[in-house]
Amino acid sequence: MGAGHDHGHAHGHAHGASPESDKRWLSGALAVIVVFMLGEVVVGVIAGSLALLSDAAHMLTDAASIVLALWAIRLAARPAAGRMTFGWKRAEILSAQVNGLTLLLLAGWLAFEAIRRLFEPPEVEGTLVLVTALIGIVVNIAASWMISRANRTSLNVEGAFQHILNDLFAFIATAVAGAIIMLTGFARADSIASLIVVALMIKAGVGLVRASTRIFLEAAPANLDPTEIGQAMAAVDSVVEVHDLHIWEITSGSPALSAHILVQPGRDCHTARTAIADMLATEYHIDHATLQVDHAEPAVLQVGKPNSAAHCEDSHGPAHHSPGAH
């Protein structure tokens, strides 16, 4: 009986980007956002516009997401050592979840305030709202472009990009509200625009929390089907069965896989292992694979007998068999 393990590692930065260039682009976007956000708070207070203040709150979460992304990039660059056998790559996911939860909490407060103002609309300076929103559109286009230059396979970077893109739509809604107030005096347009911003914040927050929770729960990435992959592994020449198949993400864009593989007696375990590892890397872009390969015992090759029983008394998940095994 033979056994072996195969480890493929591909943790480089995607699309030719580097952590240093990511930090430069993110820092530039952060500076633009913070400067405009501070000005927007001042104008929002002067104009009495909740829409502008809610936009500023949304931009605060955008700035926080960029700060967290920068922090995560710095932590993720630390090498694996001691008890941190995967390094600090999960820091990115932790920051994404914190950012998502913050978005949802802010959305709840803004929704309450916007609904209250629908019943008691204050005086709003429509001209100030319109001008500030138009400037905000330009600022968000610039910030979106800068972040799009970074590595968007990162959950944090992509989250920050989506937030700012949502802000762009929110500013468009705010500009429309400002124009309506300026032309018609309909002050409730400000609260309606605020509720649109709230909806965008909830959508972004739920998306971040869902994606980060999937990674924390060690679920298979959304684009990888464990059943399909298990069957593809079992279809490799000389493979009898694949069980204890686990697929998860170390961090966003870094899938990993482990499995126990049984091959036909007398066949080369190392050849089967190499063929499976190559197939996983080529067809599914899984470069971090740990494969335990053993020979199946002749007694368990009979049709209807569970091949894994001789090796794993408590195997996890379903077993995938070679198409010719039954």
Whole-model pTM: value is 0.70
For the chain, how many structural domains are there in total? 2
Band (12; pLDDT cuts 50, 70, 90): very low
Same domain, 231 and 211: no
Residues 156 and 68: their CA atoms lie apart, in Å, by 8
The label of the residue with tokens 């107030």 reads 181
CATH code of the domain covering residue 288: 3.30.70.1350
Same domain, 151 and 279: no
**Could you list the residue range(s) of the whole structural domain that residue 191 is in?**
14-216
The SS3 call for residue 35 is helix
Q: Is the dihedral of CA 81, 82, 85, 87 positive or negative?
A: negative
**What's the first-to-final CA gap in the chain, in angstroms?**
23
Most trustworthy range by pLDDT among 150-164, 179-193, 238-252: 238-252
CATH code of the domain covering residue 127: 1.20.1510.10
Residues 6+ apart with CB under 8 A from 201: 58, 61, 103, 104, 106, 107, 110, 166
In this prediction, residue 225 carries a pLDDT of: 92
Residues 304 and 100: their CA atoms lie apart, in Å, by 48
In this prediction, residue 18 carries a pLDDT of: 60
Q: Looking at the domain assignment, is residue 326 inside a domain?
A: no
Share of the chain above pLDDT 90, in %: 14
Query: Do 260 and 308 touch, CB atoms closer than 8 A?
Result: yes
Angle at 217 between CA 22 and CA 58, to 5 degrees: 45
Band (275; pLDDT cuts 50, 70, 90): very high
Residues 194 and 111: their CA atoms lie apart, in Å, by 8
Q: Looking at the domain assignment, is residue 211 inside a domain?
A: yes
Q: Looking at the domain assignment, is residue 25 inside a domain?
A: yes
